[in-house]
C-alpha cells in the first residue's frame, strides 16, 4: 500500500518536511490506522515514526559578477562611483580656492563645468590648469 498521504499527514502534524519523516516498516498496520493528529503524536512517542535531522545547506557567498542571459558574466560597473569620488574631490578643492580668493568666480564656474564634463582625471590635472589660468 502507498503511504504517501500518511507521510504528508505526519509531516503536517509535526511541522517537518516529508523527506524527514521515517517510518518503521514493522509497524505499518499501526501507521495505517492512525487518522488523527493525536494518533500521530502517540506513534512518535512509541518510536513507530522517527524524524531525521535536517540536512545541511551551503553558506551563500555574494557573487562578484552579475549573471546575465546566456550565462555571460559581466563585471559590475564602477564608472559612476569613480565619477562621484573625483567630482566631489575636485569641487571641494576649487571651492576652497575660491573661498581663499585664489580663484575668480568666472574661473570657478568654468572649472565646475569642465569637472562636470569629466575633463580632469585627477587633482594634479586641475592644479596644472589653474596654474596656467593665473599666468594669463
Phi first, then psi: give them for residue 23, nearest 5 degrees.
-105, 145
Cβ-proximal residues to 7 (8 Å cutoff; 6+ apart), any chain: 18, 21, 23
Instruction: Please state the domain extents for the chain.
Output: 4-51, 79-135
pTM score? 0.44
Residue 65 reports pLDDT greater than 80: no
pLDDT in tens, 99-109: 999 999 999 99
Per-residue pLDDT at 91: 96
* Helix, strand or coil, per DSSP, at residue 56: coil
Residue 70 reports pLDDT greater than 70: no
Mean predicted confidence (pLDDT) in 107-132? 93
4-51: CATH, from 3.40.1410.10, 2.120.10.30, 2.30.40.10, 1.10.1650.10: 1.10.1650.10
CATH class of 79-135: mainly alpha
Per-residue pLDDT at 136: 57
CB 108 within 8 A of CB 98: yes
Amino acid at each position: 500500500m502507498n503511504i504517501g498521504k500518511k507521510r504528508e499527514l505526519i509531516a503536517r502534524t509535526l511541522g517537518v518536511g516529508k523527506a524527514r519523516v521515517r517510518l518503521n516498516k514493522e509497524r505499518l498496520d499501526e501507521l495505517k490506522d492512525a487518522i488523527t493528529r493525536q494518533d500521530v503524536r502517540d506513534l512518535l512517542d512509541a518510536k513507530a515514526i522517527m524524524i531525521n535531522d535536517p540536512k545541511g545547506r551551503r553558506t551563500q557567498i555574494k557573487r562578484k559578477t552579475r549573471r546575465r542571459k546566456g550565462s555571460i558574466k559581466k563585471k559590475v560597473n564602477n564608472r559612476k562611483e569613480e565619477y562621484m569620488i573625483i567630482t566631489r574631490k575636485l569641487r571641494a578643492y576649487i571651492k576652497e580656492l575660491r573661498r581663499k580668493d585664489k580663484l575668480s568666480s568666472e574661473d570657478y564656474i568654468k572649472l565646475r563645468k569642465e569637472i562636470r564634463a569629466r575633463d580632469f582625471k585627477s587633482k594634479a590635472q586641475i592644479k596644472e590648469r589653474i596654474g596656467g589660468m593665473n599666468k594669463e
